[in-house]
Structure 1
Amino acid sequence: MQYLENINKIDTLFLTDIYEPRKNSLLLEVKGSVVADEETEVYVILFKNYIAYHVLNENFSVPDPNDEFIKIGHNRLRLFTKSGYMEYILKETLANDMFPNEMKHYGLYTEHHVIHIIAFKDPIIEMKVPNRY
């Protein structure tokens, strides 16, 4: 995934937008903190076909000690290899019956939010030009 390493190098990451640009797709926009009016890179993370997602206030998020994930850089975007959230989705949806073993669990960890996404495909990550104020 292009730009994945860039996101995981950012010390302070903020979620700036989240919406569904079309049916069954999820778009997340994130950027690093701004220091001394210095512009920061803005990234768009698009999941073209998601099954489920949920957003938590990071102050109330508790990591599951049984979860396992691939650690890259600062762990901003994680790919889980085992998770309680995936087990819940497997139990509560028909997605695995329809598309066996195709689901992946991603976690996006920002300064104020934790977003868990279950999707069939890897996200598309793009860098966009930051807004100038």
Structure 2
Amino acid sequence: MQATIGDIDGCEDLYLEFAIEGGDHRLRLLITEAELTDKVTPLVIGGIDFAPRSIEHTADCRCFEVIWPSTIACSIRNESYCGQSRSEEFNGRHFGLYAKSHYLEFVSAATVATQDYPGPFKHWGIFTLNHVIDVVSTDEPTVRIVQPKEYSQLRRWSSTPS
């Protein structure tokens, strides 16, 4: 079933399940929606019981496959080491476009990519609970909802050791 960037952007929270970059510079992501559950994980610090609720992918949550047919550059960072810069301009909450970013500056300085070759390109950002994904491409991503049975198969395939 087709979906949109807006469908992902509107989720409460997200997890990155896997990312695969093909030899042809194709990028495929599996992103799962997550929500705050009633499940409590005991956490005692200094004698104080915080008992935080967990954020999980549940049966009511959606799974999204996001594909870029080709990329100029992509990066996946641990969100614990990422900060927001006031000089960057981002349109979106979890999944959106940058009008201005340090990553675009890096791609312009570190590659021969220009607006003439390979053509006008954009920087998409996806913010999940554990990862920040940066993608620079001339192509728009396609987004679709993955059905539960297919999600189980994809997840099992992606976690098989090589």
Which band: TM-score by shorter chain? 0.7 to 0.9
Matched, 1:124 2:142: yes
1:1-133 correspondence to structure 2 within 5 Å: 2-33=3-34, 35=37, 38-71=59-92, 75-96=93-114, 98-100=117-119, 102-131=120-149
Normalising to structure 2: TM-score of the pair? 0.72
Bigger RCO of structures 1 and 2 (CA < 8 A, at least 6 apart) = 1
The alignment's C-alpha RMSD in Å is 2.1
Q: 1:38 Cα deviation (Å)?
A: 2.5
The worse-fitting range, judged by mean Cα deviation, of 13-22 and 117-126 is 13-22
Q: Which has the larger radius of gyration?
A: 2
The one-letter code of the counterpart of 2:108 is L
The 2-side partners of 1:104 and 1:9 are apart by 21
Identity of aligned residues (%): 22
Q: Point out where structure 2 has 5 or more consecutive residues left out of the alignment.
A: 39-57, 153-162
Q: What is the aligned length? A: 129
**Aligned residues of 2:14 and 2:32 also touching (Cα < 8 A):** yes
Normalising to structure 1: TM-score of the pair? 0.86
The one-letter code of the counterpart of 2:123 is H
Task: Note the alpha carbon deviations across 1:36-85, whole angstroms, 9 max, x for none.
Answer: 853421101101110111111111111121110223xxx11020011111
The 1-side partners of 2:147 and 2:101 are apart by 34
Decide whether aligned partners of structure 1 residues 21 and 39 sit closer, same or farther in structure 2, where only a CA change above 3 A counts. farther
**SS across alignment from 1:19:** strand
**Aligned residues of 2:26 and 2:69 also touching (Cα < 8 A):** yes
Q: 1:6 Cα deviation (Å)?
A: 1.2
The 2-side partners of 1:69 and 1:91 are apart by 20
